[in-house]
Structure 1
Amino acid sequence: MRNSIKHIAVASLVLALAACGNVSHDIARDGGSASQMVWPEPGATTPMHKGGTFPNLANLRQMKAGLNKPQVSDLIGYPHFSEGVWGVREWNYLFNFRKPGSDEVTVCQYKVLFDENKLARSFYWKPESCAALLDEPKPAAPVAAAPAAGKPRVLSADALFAFDKAELSPEGRRTVDDLAAELRGQGDKLRSVRIAGYTDRLGGDAYNQNLSQRRAESVKAELVRSGVPAGVVTAEGFGKADQVKDCPDGKRSELIACLAPNRRVEVKVDTTE
């Protein structure tokens, strides 16, 4: 009996000494940090966790501050090293992650620090880049539908160009580039893209005709630069024709603002079924 007690005491002492090399030093009372972070050697896992495990990512993503030890163990299991289970304030894990569509495996260490009430408070990765493995995969961006055939997309000229200019502004270029991405998504279905430029009624006929043509050409050039086939794109200016809003004469600044809907570029797209 006395020998059995002695053997148990020796075994406990051996485990305690082994654990000392695995745990961090001076963990803060709130579990938020440690004066010296210690990571166990990856080869020092317990026999049942030799080589680490492949964690359930959905469970691992649910790890958060405030979980108690039974809750942590339900999500990711008990620690993989011999630092202990109930009396200690940190648990260490060795996790394997397989890259989608590949046999390549990334090995990461994961550490949980607990506060004095044995509630999980902080979480660490070695290397730190392993944290990105928990990021949710981004859904593929849906291909936006191009403007419906027969119904033109109306773009505000004021949003595309500076006042009295025909060069696309940076924001205007981004708008046209987004439209180009939609059109490219139509692939071989894209038959024609007709661009029509319009101005308001202020100014001379010839001047407005020229301005509307140059603006339509600028939109065409940007679409082509962004990958829309040049052969399907046409551009034409219509000056002050087809006014969509009539405004009474008055203070010039107020009149210009009122006439804004007339300053536009319309893009009409035809596609095959």
Structure 2
Amino acid sequence: MNKPLQAKTFFTVRTAPLAALCLAALVAGGCANPSYTITPEMQARAASENPAPPKDEDFPALDSAKWQQGAFPSLEALRAMRAGMGKDQVRELLGFPHFREGLGGVREWNYIFHFRTSAGPEYVTCQYMVRFNADVLTNGMYWKGPGCADLLKPMAATKPAATVQPVVLPAKTTLGADGLFRFDGRSLADLLPEGRRKLDALASDLGSSARPVDSIRVTGHTDRLGSNSYNQALSLARASTVRDYLVQAGVPAQAVQVQGKGESEPKVQCAQTRRADLIDCLAPNRRVEIEVSAQR
């Protein structure tokens, strides 16, 4: 009669400490199951789930934590958190949860994390919740605390301010009238897209001049085709249009003077008999010249 009793007593003495150790490990680990294989299908299922985020009242009270001191986590570890991770992987990154999470079927881990705000001892405290799905894989990570989620955003690299190099303007800029205006055109409406781009660039250069601009003289020229009076009026009208465009682009109106010289100052002489060939040859004479005087 005594023999079975001795065997039973021996079994109880030997196994009770082991059971206690297992229970302690189970509680400390947030009731994590033994390590298991994570398949791609399980990860895809966790990533596709979109559970409703918790409300602030769903987070446990700070004074109910088992480890109330919390921890100073690695930001890189937190940034590595993803849906589809097992509890072993979460524990490797973040450590054990700071609250008693229960004895079985645990689907939620909670943490208390602190983040330094300066080189001194000051810090802010945030709560962090990790939720697990039916496969015991992470399917949601949540923050409680103002600005806590923003702490994981990488700090934008500070770019050095671009140095604007002052522009050294040429004493005289010559723009071909054929590239500025439509055929026989002279008004703002007659400016070609390429002509507008050239005048925009000129206005920008005038505004970025290394030396303040003192005065700008805009002179229009034509070829010898047509009457003297017509060419004189055309050259002045084109010079005035260029001035008006520059003023609209921000060049001070009082600094700009205009004049028209018609056909009086040709750059080339041409003797072609065919009109089309003659027009092409005389193109350099159809121009607008901009002379800039800068303060020394």
Q: Give the structure-1-normalised TM-score.
A: 0.55
Matched, 1:145 2:162: no
Per-residue CA deviations over 1:30-75 (Å, capped at 9, x if unaligned) read xxx942467987998x8324xx96xxxxxxxxxxxxxxxxxxxxxx
Deviation at 1:14, TM superposition (A): 4.4
Q: Over aligned residues, Cα RMSD in angstroms? A: 4.5
The residue that corresponds to 1:35 in the other structure is 48
1:184 to 207, 219, 229: 207
Residues 217-251 of structure 1: per-residue CA shift (max 9 Å, x gap): 11112222222222221111111233234444154
- 1:83-162 counterparts in 2 under 5 A? 87=89, 137=159, 140=162, 142-143=164-165, 145-148=167-170, 151-162=171-182
Mapped to 2, the partners of 1:26 and 1:208 lie a distance apart of 83
The CA distance in 2 between the partners of 1:7 and 1:190, in whole Å, is 84
User: Of 128, 149, 163, which aligns to 2:183?
Assistant: 163
Structure 1 runs not aligned, ≥5 long: 17-24, 54-76, 97-125
* Counterpart check, 1:47 vs 2:71: yes
Partner-residue secondary structure (3-state), 2:29: helix
Conserved 8 A contact 1:216-1:235: yes
Change (3 A) 1:256 1:85: farther
SS in 2 for 1:219: helix
Structure 1 residue 257 corresponds to structure 2 residue 280: yes
Give, in whole Å, the separation in 2 of the partners of 1:136 and 1:247. 60
In structure 2, stretches of 5+ residues that fail to align are 1-16, 34-40, 60-69, 95-112, 116-148
Q: Which has the larger radius of gyration?
A: 2
The 1:157–1:15 alpha-carbon spacing in structure 2 relative to 1, beyond 3 Å, is: farther
Matching residue within 210, 221, 233 for 1:210: 233
Q: Which residue of 2 aligns with 1:79?
A: 78
Query: Which whole-Å CA distance do the structure 1 matches of 2:262 and 2:246 have between them?
Result: 21
Residue identity opposite 2:283 in structure 1: A
Query: SS of the residue aligned with 1:145?
Result: coil
How big is each residue's C-alpha offset from its partner over 1:54-99, in whole Å with a ceiling of 9 and x where there is no partner? xxxxxxxxxxxxxxxxxxxxxxx222587669858xx99x9x9xxx
Q: Secondary structure at the match of 1:79?
A: helix
8 Å CA contact retained: 1:26, 1:36: no
User: Counterpart amino acid of 2:272?
Assistant: D
Q: What amino acid is aligned across from residue 222 of structure 1 in structure 2? A: Y
Whether the aligned pair in 2 keeps the contact of 1:199 and 1:262 (CA below 8 Å) is yes
**Structure 2 Cα separation of the partners of residues 155 and 220 of structure 1:** 13
Identity value in percent: 32
Per-residue deviation, 1:215: 0.4
The change in CA–CA distance for 1:12 and 1:189 in structure 2 (over 3 A counts) is same
TM-score, L = length of structure 2 = 0.52
